[in-house]
Amino acid sequence: MTAATNILFFFFAFATLLCGFLVITSRNPVTSAMFLVLTIVSMAGLFVQLQAFFLAAVQILVYAGAVMVLFLFVIMMLDLKEEERRKIRLVGAAIGTLAVGSIGFIFVKSLASARHGFSPETPTLVGSTPALGKLLFTNYLLPFEILSVLLLVAMVGVILLSKKDLK
Amino acid sequence: MSPIGLEHFLAVSGLLFFTGLLGVIVRRNILIMYMSLELMLNAANLALVAFSRFNNNLNGQVMVFFIITVAAAEVSVGLALIVALHRKRQSAHVEDLATLKL
B97 touches chain A (CB under 8 A): no
CA quadruple B54, B55, B58, B63: dihedral sign: negative
pTM: 0.87
Task: Dump the DSSP string for B43-86.
Answer: HHHHHHHHHHHHTT-THHHHHHHHHHHHHHHHHHHHHHHHHHHH
- By the 10 Å C-beta count (0-12 exposed, 13-18 middle, 19+ buried), A19 is classed as buried
The closest alpha carbon to A167, from B77, B91, B88, belongs to B88
A46/B9 CB distance under 8 A: yes
Residue A77's pLDDT is what? 84
Q: Could you report the per-residue pLDDT of A114-131, keeping only the tens digit for each? A: 665 555 455 556 657 888
The closest alpha carbon to A39, from B8, B45, B31, belongs to B45
- Structure letter (DSSP) for residue A122: P
Question: Residue B40 — very low, low, confident or very high, per pLDDT cuts 50/70/90?
Answer: very high
Residues of B in contact with A157 (CB under 8 A): 77, 80
* Phi-psi group of B69: left, alpha or beta (phi > 0 → left; psi -120 to 50 → alpha; rest → beta): alpha
Q: Could you report the per-residue pLDDT of A20-68, keeping only the tens digit for each? A: 999 998 888 889 999 999 999 999 999 998 888 899 999 999 988 888 9
> Among A67-76, A141-150, B86-95, which range has the highest average pLDDT?
A141-150
CA distance A110 to A104: 10
Q: Which helix (H) or strand (E) holds B23?
A: helix B6-26
The closest alpha carbon to A48, from A83, A102, A8, A90, belongs to A8
Min distance B5 CA to chain A CA atoms (Å): 5
Q: Could you report the per-residue pLDDT of B73-98, keeping only the tens digit for each? A: 999 999 999 888 888 888 778 877 77
Residue A144's pLDDT is what? 93
Name the residue facing A154 among B1, B12, B76 (closest C-beta): B76
Residue B73 CA from chain centroid, whole number: 13
Residue A114's pLDDT is what? 67
Contact assessment for residue A21 and residue B19, using Cβ atoms and an 8 Å cutoff: yes
Query: Average model confidence (pLDDT) for chain A?
Result: 84
Residues of B in contact with A65 (CB under 8 A): none
Contact assessment for residue A55 and residue B64, using Cβ atoms and an 8 Å cutoff: yes
Min distance A119 CA to chain B CA atoms (Å): 8
B21 touches chain A (CB under 8 A): yes
B58/A132 CB distance under 8 A: yes
A46/B19 CB distance under 8 A: no
Name the residue facing B26 among A17, A62, A93 (closest C-beta): A93
A50/B49 CB distance under 8 A: yes
Query: Average model confidence (pLDDT) for chain B?
Result: 87
Contact assessment for residue A33 and residue A69, using Cβ atoms and an 8 Å cutoff: no
Count CB neighbours of A124 within 10 A.
Answer: 8
Count CB neighbours of B97 within 10 A.
Answer: 15
Residues of A in contact with B6 (CB under 8 A): 118, 120
Whole-complex ipTM: 0.90
A32/B32 CB distance under 8 A: yes
